[in-house]
Amino acid sequence: MTGNIFVISAPSGAGKSSLVKALCELDTKLKISISHTTRKIRAGEVDGIDYYFINKKNFEEMIFNNEFLEYAEVYGNYYGTNIDTINEFIDNGNDIILEIDWQGAQQVKILMPNVIMIFIKPPSLEELKNRLIRRNTDSSAVIEKRLASVKEDLSHAHKFDYVIVNDQFDNALQEIYAIVSEYRNS
Ligand code: 5GP
């Protein structure tokens, strides 16, 4: 039996990574796909755990060799999901989470219509801005660029199967957990 693929997208700073991490602690059968990216590694990140950090030339070679299920340019960097990573997981019956942007989500939905698409919304743009500042991982120029993309990201939420508002972390976590459990049992 092949596993389910859950695609989870959100604007930057909506709390997606923390939610997904907590979800995987609740449900240890879920695995997170590790993407490739050309973005610079941030403090605290580990190559091969958070992402495979590669240069633009190598990424473009992987595109050329059709090694990505999907890829997109997000905030000026490439991000992509390697086909082999996904196949290896789901062929073994594992459920997998793709934490990818809305462009990648759309590409995956076309190729694999059975994927379950979840969009996480921040409670408000104001709160989102505060979270990005508190996260303290990006310069103010990068934060401004990201905020400018947020409205665009939010305009694609209606294309997803489920939209969750992350105003209360525990509530949002329970909502995602309920969705995952429903598909697990079906
Ligand atoms: P960050 O740089 O903050 O880790 O991620 C920036 C954005 O890139 C997030 O919206 C994240 O979901 C998205 N992203 C991460 N990996 C992938 C991927 O493999 N494909 C696509 N399309 N987007 C990704």
We report the CATH number of the domain holding residue 64 as 3.40.50.300
Pocket around ligand 1 at a 6 A CB cut-off: 12, 35, 39, 70-72, 74, 79-81, 99-101, 103-104
Whole domain around residue 32: which residue ranges? Answer: 5-185
Beta carbons of 121 and 13 less than 8 angstroms apart = no
Closest C-alpha residue for ligand 1 atom 3: 12
List pLDDT tens digits, range 94-103.
Answer: 899 999 999 9
The answer, yes or no, to whether residue 185 has pLDDT greater than 90, is no
Question: Cβ neighbours of residue 65 under 8 Å, at least 6 residues apart?
Answer: none
* Beta sheet of 77-82, edge-to-edge order: 52-53, 36-37, 77-82, 68-74
Closest C-alpha residue for ligand 1 atom 12: 100
pLDDT value, residue 88:
85
Mean pLDDT of 19-35: 94
Residue 2 alpha carbon to ligand 1 centre in Å? 25
Of 25-34, 100-109, 140-149, 156-165, minimum mean pLDDT range: 140-149
pLDDT value, residue 186:
62
| Residue % of the chain over a pLDDT of 70 | 98
Average model confidence (pLDDT) across the chain: 93
Mean pLDDT of 143-163: 91
How many CB atoms within 10 Å of residue 92?
12
**Residue 98, strand partner residues:** 7
Mean pLDDT of 61-86: 95
pLDDT value, residue 91:
83
**Burial zone of 145 (CB within 10 Å; 0-12 exposed, 13-18 middle, 19+ buried):** middle
Predicted TM-score (pTM) of the model is 0.91
Mean pLDDT of 66-88: 94
Closest C-alpha residue for ligand 1 atom 16: 100
How many structural domains comprise the chain?
A: 1
